Amino acid sequence: MKSNIFLRNKHYYLIGLLFLTVNALAINTYSIIPYPQKLSPQIGNFKFDNKTFLSVLTNDVEVLNIAVQFETQFNRVTGINLKLTEANSTSKIEFIKTDSAFTNNEAYRLSVSPRLIRIEAASPTGIFYALQTLYQLLPADIYGKNRSDIKKWEIPCVNIEDAPRFSYRGLHLDVCRHFFPVEFIKKYIDAMAIHKLNRFHWHLTDDQGWRIEIKKYPLLTEIGSQRPETLIGHYYENMPQQFDNKLYGGYYTQDEAREIVKYAASKFITVIPEIEMPGHAMAAIAAYPYLSCTQKPLNVATKWGVFDDVFCTRETNFTFLEDVLSEIMAIFPSEYIHIGGDECPKTRWKNCPDCQARIKKLKLKDEHELQSYFIQRIEKFVNAQGRKIIGWDEILEGGLAPNATVMSWRGIDGGIAAAKSGHNVIMTPMSHCYFDFYQAEPATEPTAIGGYVPLIKVYDFEPVPKVLTAEEAKYIIGAQANVWTEYITSASHVEYMAYPRASALSEVLWTNPENKNWTRFSANMLNAFDRFKALDINASKAFFDINAKVSAIPSNIVEVSLRCDNPEAEIRYTIDNSTPDKRSKIYTMPVKLTKTTQFKAQAFQKNTPTGKAFSEKIPVSKATDCSYVTNTKIQGKTPEDKSLTNGM
């Protein structure tokens, strides 16, 4: 694992050098994230004023609504009244819905010349995405709630032809470990839409809380949505545990869930609900103890982890689950229903007369085949309603349900196996897509579950494994980042964990590999931070911090390599224990140390310190090889290290 870090950091260092040589690089005028597939800069600007005519050449109500929403927001922030008639206009924004020339339903064309902006697509989705791009060409203030001080509103001329690489571009949110109000869910959806993400995976049920009203089973929310207390601090099995002694709960009514579905649809985002089964079922069992094998009363879980009490395979439970899924499908029109399937211990099934009788009767080999039977039976029910299931990659064990889509989270192997057997796959490997993992130095970050997934690692993610043939690769329909909330208690902390990593993910999912470019992306991030500010999104600022790599080279010398994601950063350092300031030595290449040294460094942008200071006493010995993110060694906290990811 260390060698992985080493290799990566060598890569960082090379990238860092590249940044320094192009340090004068201007911020990209076309700072669009995700970056379009084809963008040709053109000379000149388009200026918006009261003589700009907003022309909508279609009767499509959805397109009209999109145009009206744009006009309303544009007017609120700029004070400019776009004209709705051509008379006396001097420039024009044209919305055109064409029927031809687009093979992808989400594709669009956007051309900006000095007097004309033309937005063209074959679908309202395409028109919506063209507008998201247009917004990003405008100053970030355009996203604000109030009138901006900016007087001149103009955008650079450009020709863009764009369409996504993947059809499934997802972001997940766990509302069970902690609950987030409807208003925040809408804000989360807004941020997704800006990034052209199109699938919101809403994790609605788990051991620590059942969060969706089911009319036929009112106790699911009356009892199952409340836990008597919550674990404080990190969860380690067999270690002393402290609880907060506070009742915690919350759930969404069906009306609220419908409101979210409708809101998301207005932003071309599909909401995919997840109802966990057969594991992660403690909250449901607390409400209706007959659902478990032992049928004994228990509490909604108050700590994190995987629990032995799961849904029994008794016949009554299928009735229960089908009733629940019927209500869920009535709320959520999505093609996919996520049925969980992960982390289901077989302990109770092994000792349950009902489960054992079913194994015998169906001539199943073991409890894994029983789980497979469970999922296949649920799949049949969901398919009969014209829907499809998604399950976590454990659903491969004991035989995959015939039409299931696999969400590969424990790595990419589950995804590879599923694609090879002709099943659709959504890649969400912990190594790159778990946004509950640390993104910066753990010692100075809010407590996270473990792991280490910095921005550049997300950006480097390739959802299609190399081992797949072109034919098999077609089954990788996209990827998704997961935001599990054991250690995320507030909405602003959700944003902190999700952004800017979701920005990087959006480019992974939208932009073809040959059009991806970390140097451009990181330059574009500077404008993205202005957007986060205008949108009041509490994005992490780890982007501005220094990352350090120390490597031992022969003859008792160590080399310190530094990098910063921010391409405008100038790194200055000292080796005399003084605080780096704007007169300190500029870092241009790895620094060699021959004796133990207090090494201090700071990133500056335009002579102003940005990001956290780096200060570390670096010993000189052969054993010095290590990575630092700002101050502290990353101690084995790689995403592959499952011991640090307990409780998911």
Residues annotated as catalytic are: 206, 280, 343
Report the residue number, 174 or 213, with the smaller CB distance to ligand ACM.
174
Which residue in the set 312, 378, 426, 593 belongs to the binding site for Zn ion (CB under 5 A)?
A: 312
Cα separation of 510 and 492, whole Å? 26
Return the number of other C-beta atoms located less than 10 Å from residue 147's C-beta: 12
CB of 342 to ligand ACM, least distance (A): 4
In the bound state, the residue with its beta carbon closest to ligand ACM is 648
Which residue in the set 134, 352, 406, 453 belongs to the binding site for Zn ion (CB under 5 A)?
A: 352
Report the residue number, 161 or 354, with the smaller CB distance to Zn ion.
354
- Are the C-beta atoms of residues 121 and 130 closer than 8 Å to each other? yes
Residue 352 binding partner per list ligand ACM, Zn ion, none, with a CB distance cut-off of 5 to 8 Å that depends on partner kind: Zn ion
Size of the site for ligand ACM (CB under 6 A): 5
CB of 273 to Zn ion, least distance (A): 25
Cα separation of 429 and 464, whole Å? 12
Residue 343 binding partner per list ligand ACM, Zn ion, none, with a CB distance cut-off of 5 to 8 Å that depends on partner kind: ligand ACM
- Return the exposure string of 279-301: e unless at least 16 CB atoms fall within 10 Å of the residue's CB, then b: bbbbbbbbbbeebbbeeeeeebb
Strand order of the sheet with strand 591-593?
591-593, 557-564, 546-553, 626-629, 632-633
Of the ranges 97-105, 285-293, 315-323, 471-479, which one interacts with Zn ion (CB under 5 A)? Answer: 285-293
Fill in the per-residue mask, 401 to 420: x = in contact with ligand ACM (CB under 6 A), - = not in contact.
Answer: --------x-----------
Cα separation of 296 and 286, whole Å? 9
User: Under the criterion CB under 5 A, does residue 308 sit at the interface with Zn ion?
Assistant: no
Size of the site for Zn ion (CB under 5 A): 5
- Beta-carbon contacts of 250 under 8 Å, excluding residues fewer than 6 positions away, are 175, 179, 181, 209, 211, 225
Rg (CA), the chain: 26
- Tell me, what amino acid is at 216? K
Q: What is the dihedral of CA 429, 433, 435, 437, to 10 degrees?
A: 50
Return the number of other C-beta atoms located less than 10 Å from residue 242's C-beta: 9
Residue 354 binding partner per list ligand ACM, Zn ion, none, with a CB distance cut-off of 5 to 8 Å that depends on partner kind: Zn ion
Report the residue number, 435 or 518, with the smaller CB distance to ligand ACM.
435
User: Under the criterion CB under 6 A, does residue 648 sit at the interface with ligand ACM?
Assistant: yes
- Return the exposure string of 636-647: e unless at least 16 CB atoms fall within 10 Å of the residue's CB, then b: ebbbeeeebbbb
Of the ranges 50-58, 286-294, 497-505, 549-557, which one interacts with Zn ion (CB under 5 A)? Answer: 286-294
Q: Three-class SS of residue 507? A: helix
Q: How far is CA 324 from CA 68, 211, 291, 365, in A?
A: 38, 13, 13, 29
Residue 94 binding partner per list ligand ACM, Zn ion, none, with a CB distance cut-off of 5 to 8 Å that depends on partner kind: none
Which residue in the set 392, 459, 543, 587 belongs to the binding site for ligand ACM (CB under 6 A)?
A: 392
Residue 312 binding partner per list ligand ACM, Zn ion, none, with a CB distance cut-off of 5 to 8 Å that depends on partner kind: Zn ion
Of the ranges 20-28, 79-87, 310-318, 332-340, which one interacts with Zn ion (CB under 5 A)? Answer: 310-318
Q: Three-class SS of residue 420? A: helix
Which residue in the set 49, 60, 354, 413 belongs to the binding site for Zn ion (CB under 5 A)?
A: 354
- Tell me, what amino acid is at 35? Y
Q: Within 302-361, which residues bind ligand ACM (CB under 6 A)?
A: 342-343
Of the ranges 77-85, 304-312, 418-426, 556-564, which one interacts with Zn ion (CB under 5 A)? Answer: 304-312
Cα separation of 292 and 297, whole Å? 9
Report the residue number, 343 or 616, with the smaller CB distance to ligand ACM.
343
CB of 244 to ligand ACM, least distance (A): 24
User: Under the criterion CB under 6 A, does residue 532 sit at the interface with ligand ACM?
Assistant: no
Cα separation of 111 and 617, whole Å? 54
- For binding to Zn ion (CB under 5 A), which residues are involved? 293, 312, 352, 354-355
- For binding to ligand ACM (CB under 6 A), which residues are involved? 342-343, 392, 409, 648
